Amino acid sequence: MRIALFTETFLPKVDGIVTRLRHTVEQLQRQGDQVLVVCPDGGMKDYHGAKIYGLSAFPLPMYPELKVALPRPSIRKALDKFQPDLIHVVNPAILGLAGIYYAKMLDLPLVASYHTHLPQYLHHYGFGSLEGFLWELLKAAHNQAELNLCTSTAMVNELSHHGIERVDLWQRGVDTDMFVPSLASAKMRDRLSQGHPDSPLLLYVGRVSAEKEIEQIKPILEAIPGSRLAIVGDGPHRAALEQHFQGTPTHFVGYLRGMELASAFASADAFVFPSRTETLGLVVLEAMAAGCPVVAANSGGIPDIVTDGENGYLFDPQDPQGAIKATQRLIAASEERETLRAKARQEAERWGWAAATRQLKGYYQDVLAAHRLPRAA
């Protein structure tokens, strides 16, 4: 198959969506398919054999790390040259609308996927009153597609509830070869804890943005004597968080990639993830693959991954003591923590990227076959 993938974000940006897309592109190319990625320009022309058509972009005012590219007629030339069998739009917002338009114009099958829970994000940026309007826009865009994919059962139900049709589940995936418990490192632990490797070490990894609710980790840190917190990642909320955590043993590490990131996961005592807006929470699965016990909000796509008391702990995000009690229990019981590590790894081993991409290809083939039937008739 030849797949044109329209996405609002791609490399070199670092986030869970980009991680999923780059692994998907790698696997599709490896399995004999051809991919054209239409995205904001990041200075790349190809990736693992896939062609990249980058469009000039400008930073989003509230989130400068996110570059916005506007549709333009030159996209048609790139599609004519590539001759796709199918168009897949990821989080259709601006550039993705061009993917929808050209799918209709060129009579190509259209798949859409939902990765960012934008209606919930509005509440963290002071625009909660627009949630209903945004759902209507999302419904209008997604209902153009023959298939809409979500990365958790919670999001399948949420989109269906809001009138989005033909919704199905795109299974989770994680790199179980890179994220492994054996990468636990005294040197990394010393780095994350700023020279206090024997102290309980809490870890957060992900976008440093308001919707992640990282502020909620501060009471946990204060409730566990001698504990340290490492925040890995960056984003528009960093300055506010540095002020919020001032005077606490918190280290803003910035971005880590590859084996360094895997070692950070494996070296911590607990991965604390308070976000309530996750469509999946890929970093949670990466932590589990690395054998890092997880304490996470019982919300969004997280319960698809974490089974409370078995491979991690879930807490009620409405209970101000829930995360504190769960993390205290985890830190205090070293034997229980080791059991959670082992079971977390076992869960992650079920979800490799190759299997997730084979499932996606099955969806593509079904959509292609269904699209051809009316034309054949």
Give the CATH number of the domain where residue 201 resides: 3.40.50.2000
The answer to whether the CB of 315 falls within 8 A of the CB of 216 is: no
Cα 261–265–266 angle (5° rounding)?
Answer: 115
Same domain membership, residue 187 and residue 149? no
pLDDT for 67 = 86
Same domain membership, residue 245 and residue 233? yes
**pLDDT tens digits for 247-269?**
999 999 999 999 999 999 999 99
Kindly give the residue spans of alpha helices, DSSP state H, lying in 268-333.
282-289, 322-332
Same domain membership, residue 119 and residue 50? yes
Greater confidence (187 vs 210) lies with 187
What's the rounded Cα separation, in Å, for the pair 170 and 154? Answer: 12
Greater confidence (119 vs 321) lies with 321
Same domain membership, residue 199 and residue 64? no
Average pLDDT over every residue of 56-79: 88
pLDDT at 228 over 70: yes
pLDDT for 374 = 63
User: Which structural domain, as residue segments, surrounds residue 356?
Assistant: 2-173+352-376
Token couple for 360? 């996606």
Same domain membership, residue 234 and residue 366? no
pLDDT for 352 = 86
Average pLDDT over every residue of 228-236: 96
Greater confidence (122 vs 187) lies with 187
Pairing of strands 63-69, 57-60: antiparallel
Greater confidence (282 vs 98) lies with 98
pLDDT for 375 = 57
pLDDT at 286 over 70: yes
Q: Lowest-pLDDT range, 55-64, 140-149, 159-168?
A: 55-64
- From the CB of residue 197, how many other CB atoms can be counted at a distance below 10 Å? 17
pLDDT for 328 = 95
pLDDT for 60 = 78
What's the rounded Cα separation, in Å, for the pair 210 and 335? Answer: 35
pLDDT at 157 over 70: yes
The answer to whether the CB of 303 falls within 8 A of the CB of 236 is: no
pLDDT at 376 over 60: no
* Location of structure tokens 């670092």: 14
What's the rounded Cα separation, in Å, for the pair 351 and 115? Answer: 18
Same domain membership, residue 356 and residue 330? no
pLDDT for 122 = 62
Same domain membership, residue 121 and residue 67? yes
Residue 258's region, left for phi above 0, alpha for psi from -120 to 50, else beta, is: left
**Sheet containing 2-7: which strands, arranged edge to edge?**
46-47, 50-55, 34-40, 2-7, 86-90, 110-114, 147-150, 167-169
pLDDT at 229 over 70: yes
Pairing of strands 46-47, 50-55: antiparallel
For the chain, percent of residues with pLDDT exceeding 90: 78
pLDDT at 212 over 70: yes
Same domain membership, residue 241 and residue 154? no
Token couple for 373? 């039937």
Same domain membership, residue 71 and residue 146? yes
Same domain membership, residue 364 and residue 244? no
pLDDT at 310 over 80: yes
Average pLDDT over every residue of 177-185: 96
pLDDT for 127 = 67
pLDDT band for 65, please (50, 70, 90 cuts).
confident
pLDDT at 281 over 90: no
Q: Lowest-pLDDT range, 24-38, 124-138, 192-206, 300-314?
A: 124-138
Same domain membership, residue 214 and residue 256? yes
pLDDT at 64 over 80: no
**pLDDT tens digits for 5-31?**
999 999 999 888 999 999 999 999 999
Which three-class secondary structure state does DSSP give residue 67?
strand
pLDDT band for 304, please (50, 70, 90 cuts).
confident
Number of domains, the chain: 2
The answer to whether the CB of 286 falls within 8 A of the CB of 265 is: yes
Same domain membership, residue 250 and residue 129? no
pTM here is 0.80
pLDDT for 4 = 98
Give me the chain's average pLDDT, please: 92
* Location of structure tokens 């083939």: 365
Q: Lowest-pLDDT range, 82-86, 151-155, 313-317, 340-344?
A: 151-155
Token couple for 336? 């229980």
